[in-house]
Amino acid sequence: MLDIKFIRENPEVVKQNLRNKFQEEKLPLVDELLALDEENRANMKQPDEMRANRNKISKMIGGLMAQGKRDEAEEAKRQVSEQSARLAAAEAKETELSEKIRKILMVIPNIIDPSVPIGKDDSENVELQRFGEAKEAEFDVPYHTEIMEYFDGIDLDSAGRVAGNGFYYLMGDIARLHESIIAYARDFMIDKGFTYCIPPFMIRRNVVEGVMSQGEMDAMMYKIEGEDLYLIGTSEHSMIGKFIDQIIPEEKLPQTLTSYSPCFRKEKGAHGIEERGVYRIHQFEKQEMIVVCRPEDSMDWYEKMWRMSVELFRSLDIPVRQLECCSGDLADLKVKSCDIEAWSPRQKKYFEVCSCSNLGDAQARRLKMRVKGADKKNYLPHTLNNTVVAPPRMLIAFLENNLNADMSVNIPVSLRPYMGGKEKLIPKFEK
């Protein structure tokens, strides 16, 4: 969410940003917002004048009564009553205008960083660099659920009977592999100096509105019926929400946290064959990282965070690439974002496994997070987030890139301590 003062002083910058994000339908909102803001500022002067006048008259009443000027005192009371009624109407108008302004501010996107490429959608995202050699397998790589079935490691049919489509049972070595990757990612981030955290898995609506746009909320979040609670779609939301209405001493920055949580998403719409199985699901587990920092440090943290993802995936023998998100693919609160995509030997292409984002001060402004600087003045921090690993999807990349022709799966050295020292997973069923 942008500062109303910034929009007031830079309306053309805000409008050009909308054009860059291909959201021309929102252009009239800028002028509507400015008109409402002008009306509200003019209206806000009236209550102050009315209160001062009312208080002045109220003080006169006692003196008039003491002097026996009853009629004048009654007239003063009438004026006080009249002023109170007018004041109530002005305050109601201020509340009404403020709410209209807030609703528009909530849908005007953040100003994107000048380095963000201009493009309409994810088809115009830009590859920046690759890490590791993307090799093609010398044998036919099965679909990821088929690989898991060689280990008797997945049961979609039972999950469908229990919970419907978009759920799964992971079993045996595959379930252990899943949890090993989570544990490895946890320790990887702790070794980077991040504080480990297990956050609430449900959050209130004011936190949801503070961390994401209305469109994202409607598309992703599951609402708990009869409660002011939503299941989290990612632990970033409750992690950033931890600082709602808080003033953080500057010496406590940066806040660097890494969190484990289950995640719940609606994932509406039809998806292609490559997005079935455990690629796009309603429930999964995830290791996340977030940073709250000084504004001048946020781009340095952005660079560090996506590089951590690359380092982690390369330590598991998975080739990856960095893809810069173009303007039209950025969610409204984001200043800059990139995806880390893993190589799929089966599809012979890359697919998304991590997303790193700098949100500037948008979340801080919505959540009323502040930092008390050395000069004792408060300012808004910047917030960033990045996926460490989301194992169901990450399992696809891991299994495909470490698969052998006999359907055994190599365990990289870094993961072996979490897998009981195993160097290889042996399938239960023959190819």
Whole-number pLDDT of residue 271: 44
pLDDT for residue 194 is more than 80: yes
135-172 confidence digits (pLDDT tens): 999 999 999 999 999 999 999 999 999 999 889 999 99
- Element of type H or E holding 217: helix 214-220
Q: What integer is the mean pLDDT of 336-361? A: 96
Q: Which of 170, 245, 247, 175 is nearest to 207 (CA)?
A: 245
In angstroms, rounded to a whole number, what is the distance separating the alpha carbons of residues 316 and 310?
A: 10
* Cis amide linkage into residue 200, ω under 30° from 0: no
Say whether 122 sits in a helix, a strand or coil: helix
301-327 average pLDDT score: 97
Cβ neighbors of 187 (< 8 A, separation 6 or more) are none
Q: What is the pLDDT of residue 270?
A: 46
HSE of 283 in the Cβ direction (CA atoms, 13 Å)? Answer: 12
Q: Which of 396, 311, 316, 385 is nearest to 352 (CA)?
A: 396
Q: Tell me, what amino acid is at 379?
A: Y
Would you state the structure tokens that stand for residue 372, as one six-digit string? 């008390």
CA distance 284 to 296: 34
Write down the pLDDT at residue 90.
Answer: 76
C-alpha distances (whole Å) from 232 to each of 165, 222, 237, 288, 356 are 19, 8, 7, 13, 18
With a pLDDT cut of 70, the percent of the chain lying above it is 92
Instruction: Give the whole-number percent of the chain exceeding pLDDT 90.
Output: 78
Contact present, 320 and 341 (Cβ < 8 Å) = yes
Cβ atoms of residues 372 and 354 within 8 Å: no
Q: Considering the chain, what is the average pLDDT of its residues? A: 91
Question: By the 8 A CB rule, do 46 and 90 touch?
Answer: yes
Q: Are 377 and 385 in contact (CB under 8 A)?
A: no
* Mean pLDDT score, 238-257: 97
Task: Report the alpha-carbon distance of residue 259 to residue 208 in Å, rounded.
Answer: 18
pLDDT band of residue 29 (cuts 50, 70, 90) is very high
Q: What is the pLDDT of residue 278?
A: 84
For every residue of 269-285, DSSP letters joined together read S---GGGTTTTS-SEEE
Q: What is the pTM of this model?
A: 0.87
**How confident is the model over 232-240, as a mean pLDDT?**
94
Q: 34-76, pLDDT tens digit by residue?
A: 999 999 888 776 666 666 666 676 667 667 676 777 777 677 6
Q: Is 320 helix (H, G, I), strand (E, B) or coil?
A: strand
Closest to 16 in 3D by CA, of 121, 108, 101: 108
Query: What is the spatial distance between Cα 82 and Cα 89, in angstroms, rounded to a whole number?
Result: 11
Query: Domains plus CATH for the chain?
Result: 4-105 (1.10.287.40), 122-425 (3.30.930.10)
CB 33 within 8 A of CB 7: yes
